[in-house]
């Protein structure tokens, strides 16, 4: 692949707090390495923008503006959820060919890597020389062949700190049971990160449930009752994607049309269901909490490690493509040793497109109601610093005064 030809960047799927850092990394490295005559375009609204031939000139913003964009949540180019057909991939390549695009970068998760793969296949059928490159992004952390995904570290920091704060609140109120629903359709990586909130055995969360382990309602009620009997309050972290032993979602029932563009079922309000179950079966007052997309878009809780790696993996994708490589996703690999370090590599899009990396069961407690401490070692370096913990007064009260 020559050092000439135009660049297009596509953002896909749900944004993260650091997706624009990857965008910035791609633009910055492309500007450094390619001739000034080469155009750098951003597709407006994801792959739909490519099909509609709608672009932004990414050489126009000033360096100062780009630094601000790199620290902004949301997808600066606009995003979409669209399953690209083979025919549409052909049409997209024709659009890019007319604009002499030789480098196509797709920032996204599992489904976006499918988009990048189809673009690569279409370009190959046309015998059109264009590097198609994936740049990982997902708070779910479920892309294969990478140690972790940009966006995950910041979301993990947010949900862990939220669990600390929620625990401080719930332990003081007459509402003794709180069920915190965490994003993650099929994988429990993010839900497991609530473990970071716990420093002592009685700290929240007291119970953690992830999709990798079948959820048994009777066991759940037994676990909640046990914790409540022991200390009088309970915080439960539960993934939105948990299923029972029969493979059925625990969320609110939805109709068959409740799927996204890729056919994935939309997660229901699992925490609401479980809170109702606790109240009905145990007679305990319970409420549910669902941060939802707040957890993926919080710029205030961004992990500096996450933001730095998001930039660097974008930059690496450009350098790897310019060396003549295509049909790859840039990856992050953790190096061995006590000090946290990473290096960047590349894996075939075929190895990641539409595939899901589940949380290994070695991190899940045998009864499926907690996460093992070894997971803390994996996730702690990714959140970029310590959580904020608080002081707490002892609950012992003074002896009652004697009547006169």
Strand stretches in 175-311, DSSP E? 177-182, 207-209, 234-239, 286-289
Catalytic residue among 57, 100, 114, 140: 140
Which pLDDT score is estimated for 261? 55
Q: Does domain 6-150+302-351 have CATH number 3.40.50.450?
A: yes
What's the CA gap between 122 and 92, in Å, rounded?
9
Element (H, E) at 102: strand 101-108
If DSSP codes are grouped into helix, strand and coil, which group holds residue 224?
helix
CA angle 382, 210, 200 (to 5 degrees): 65
How many alpha carbons lie under 13 Å from residue 266 in its C-beta half-sphere?
Answer: 13
Give start-end residues of each CATH 3.40.50.460 domain in the chain.
155-299+358-383
For 360, the token pair is 């290994």
Closest to 106 in 3D by CA, of 343, 333, 329: 329
Q: Is 306 a catalytic residue?
A: no
Closest to 79 in 3D by CA, of 37, 19, 150, 143: 19
What's the CA gap between 20 and 16, in Å, rounded?
8
If DSSP codes are grouped into helix, strand and coil, which group holds residue 313?
helix
Helices 304-322 and 19-33 pack at an angle, to 10 degrees, of 40
Burial of 287-305, coded b for 16+ CB within 10 Å and e otherwise, reads bbbbbeeebbbbeebbbeb
Estimate to the nearest angstrom the gap between the alpha carbon of 48 and the chain centroid.
22
Q: What is the pTM of this model?
A: 0.93
Around Cβ 266, how many Cβ atoms within 10 Å?
A: 13
Question: What CATH code would you report for 155-299+358-383?
Answer: 3.40.50.460
Q: Cβ-count burial of 336 within 10 angstroms (0-12 exposed, 13-18 middle, 19+ buried)? A: exposed
Tens-level pLDDT at each residue, the chain (404 residues):
455 789 999 999 999 999 999 999 999 999 999 999 999 999 999 999 999 999 999 999 999 999 999 999 999 999 999 999 999 999 999 999 999 999 999 999 999 999 999 999 999 999 999 999 999 999 999 999 999 999 999 999 999 999 999 999 999 887 899 999 999 989 999 999 999 999 998 999 999 999 999 999 999 999 999 999 999 999 999 999 998 888 888 876 555 455 555 555 556 689 999 999 999 999 999 999 999 899 888 988 999 999 999 999 999 999 999 999 999 999 999 999 989 999 999 999 999 998 999 999 999 999 999 999 999 999 999 999 999 999 988 665 556 666 66
Which pLDDT score is estimated for 404? 63
Give start-end residues of each CATH 3.40.50.450 domain in the chain.
6-150+302-351
Identify the residue whose tokens are 């990798």: 212
Helices 110-125 and 86-98 pack at an angle, to 10 degrees, of 70
């Amino acid at each position: 692949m020559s050092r000439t030809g135009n660049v297009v960047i596509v953002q896909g799927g749900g944004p993260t707090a650091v997706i624009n850092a990857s965008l910035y990394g791609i633009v910055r490295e492309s500007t450094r390495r390619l001739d000034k005559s080469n155009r750098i375009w951003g597709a407006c609204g994801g792959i739909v923008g490519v099909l509609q031939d709608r672009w932004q000139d990414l050489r126009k913003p000033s360096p100062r503006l780009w630094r601000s964009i790199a620290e902004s949540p949301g997808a600066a180019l606009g995003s979409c959820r669209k399953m690209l057909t083979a025919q549409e991939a052909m049409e997209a390549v024709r659009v890019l060919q007319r604009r002499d695009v030789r480098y196509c970068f797709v920032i996204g998760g599992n489904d976006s890597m499918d988009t990048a793969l189809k673009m690569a296949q279409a370009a190959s059928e046309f015998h059109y020389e264009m590097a198609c490159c994936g740049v990982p992004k997902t708070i779910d952390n479920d892309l294969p062949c990478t140690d972790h995904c940009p966006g995950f570290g910041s979301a993990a920091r947010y949900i862990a700190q939220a669990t600390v704060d929620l625990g401080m609140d719930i332990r003081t109120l007459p509402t003794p049971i709180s069920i915190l629903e965490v994003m993650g359709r099929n994988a429990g990586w993010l839900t497991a990160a609530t473990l970071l909130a716990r420093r002592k055995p009685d700290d929240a969360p007291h119970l953690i449930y992830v999709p990798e382990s079948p959820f048994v309602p009777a066991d759940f009620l037994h676990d909640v009752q046990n914790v409540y009997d022991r200390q009088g309050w309970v915080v439960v972290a539960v993934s939105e994607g948990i299923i029972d032993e029969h493979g059925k979602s625990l969320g609110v029932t939805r109709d068959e049309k409740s799927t996204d563009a890729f056919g994935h079922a939309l997660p229901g309000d699992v925490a609401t269901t479980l809170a109702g179950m606790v109240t009905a079966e145990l007679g305990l007052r319970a409420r549910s909490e669902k941060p939802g997309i707040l957890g993926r878009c919080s710029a205030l809780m961004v992990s500096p490690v996450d933001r730095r790696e998001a930039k660097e993996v974008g930059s690496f994708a450009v350098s790897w493509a310019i060396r003549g490589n295509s049909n790859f996703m840039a990856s992050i690999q953790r190096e061995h040793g006590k000090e946290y370090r990473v290096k960047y590599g590349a894996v075939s899009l075929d190895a990641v497109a539409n595939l899901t990396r589940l949380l290994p069961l070695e991190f899940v407690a045998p009864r499926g109601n907690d996460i093992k401490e070894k997971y803390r070692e994996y996730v702690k370096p990714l959140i970029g610093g310590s959580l904020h913990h608080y002081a707490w007064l002892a609950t012992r009260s003074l002896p009652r005064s004697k009547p006169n």
